[in-house]
Chains A and B, each alone.
Chain A
């Protein structure tokens, strides 16, 4: 389905650069099937691209301007999170749900005239349309959310955050224990399907715990997500059935990747001034 002409890879975050998958298949997010020249002249691009199409022979598909997104693999093997999250769950969650959202999104983008050339973050914000989400939002946001989720976990995760992240947590929540309690409570009192996030709020320059329903992602409020937890039933049902509490505990104890959190905080600090560094006097 993805054309053989050249593609341009746009990596939208430091995280992705650092956590790039070691195995071959599509790890990039944005594949263009036509010259990127088209995108630089947005006023005419649409029409111009369509006119240029007539000159090529070969399949129509190869010369139309479309944006396809590839399915990103989690940065670990599917059984690497055992016994806390089974391989079966990863297979169905990533290979089924996540893949379906992505394929749905690509199908929708095929028909869309205006939604191309975006980085993934921008696509989520654009389709959110300031609170009036377009039909593509659900798929786009869910793909983003799940990508973020896989990267928020690691084999041998859990434990405690360190260094800057720990300092910031202690500053904004009092202590790690207090943060952990609040996070778990937020997860357990979520009604219906949704996500729990630790985000850095730009204006308030603070870490906050945020809950979202269904597919909503804090990107749309311009927050910077640090870690997230999927509270849709499909995320835990095969392993924990109805025991949400156990799932959330296990996530905090054994799965959450504070390394990923550190990378994201480091990047976030480029955008949010969290305070002066401690420079020793002499």
Chain B
């Protein structure tokens, strides 16, 4: 739970540290550090949730993803087509979980580091164009998040083809690209129950209302500017 240095922050740009493993050079993944303390997002998200979410859930996705990749490697080497296909759902689920959560940690930041401050400049502009106002975007994302049946994510995405920002949802751990190849995630909100249950119980709308206080719009703006250039 120590404070994370700037160096660690940069490492989150990819998907965590990557180790070379095995003769074929299979890269495996490890848990990226959070750029803030577990308790730094209180009272919007409790420290208990952040710790469990990061150390248990995200770690489990990574562990299972690595396992699935190793099995995939072996199956490819043997030329076992049906084994390769059988592993796809495990890869999509666990790999998606890793990708999504890595983005999620970047999407949050403590209030004293600018969390919750609405976006200005180009992203703010794009939001106003697509949704009318910042508040309208929040309302829409909250509605989509609350209405999502089961587990999933709600995203604010940049559609690179249409050159506008859109709101999308994905089920389970499906990464955003499964909804459109030209979609780039700017902000993702995890609406799996594990993301809020201990604190908000079944009142998902309250969780959605409060999470905006710690959303890191700076990161979203950076991604937006880079991808729309």
Contacts and interface: CB of A to CB of B under 8 A. Distances in A.
Contacts of B93: 191-192
A191 B173 contact: yes
Interface of A: 92, 96-97, 100, 138, 191-194, 213-215, 232-234, 237-238, 241-242
Contacts of A97: 202
B111 interface: no
A233 B151 contact: yes
Contact of B202 (A92, A193, A215, A241): A92
B75 interface: no
A234 B152 CA distance: 14
Given A191-B172, A242-B60, 4 more contacts: A191-B173, A193-B150, A234-B202, A241-B198
A213 B174 CA distance: 15
A237 B200 CA distance: 12
A241 B52 contact: yes
Contact of A233 (B89, B149, B173, B193): B193
Contacts of A194: 150
8 contacts: A97-B202, A191-B89, A193-B150, A193-B151, A194-B150, A233-B151, A238-B201, A242-B56
Given A97-B202, A191-B173, A233-B192, A214 B150 contact: yes
A273 B152 CA distance: 42
B17 interface: no
B12 interface: no
Contacts of B57: 242
Nearest to A189: B90
A132 to B, nearest CB: 15
Interface in B114-173: 149-152, 171-173
B199 to A, nearest CB: 11
B165 to A, nearest CB: 27
A192 B60 contact: no
Given A192-B171, A215-B149, A242-B52, A92 B201 contact: yes
B202 A237 contact: no
B151 A192 contact: yes
Give the top 9 A-B pairs by smallest Cβ distance, nearest first: A192-B172, A233-B193, A214-B150, A193-B150, A96-B202, A242-B56, A237-B197, A191-B93, A192-B151
* Residue with the greatest number of chain A CB neighbours at <10 A, chosen from B56, B60, B201: B201
A233 B194 contact: yes
Nearest to B53: A242
A192 B56 contact: no
Given A96-B201, A100-B202, A191-B89, A242 B150 contact: no
Contacts of A214: 149-150
A240 B89 CA distance: 26
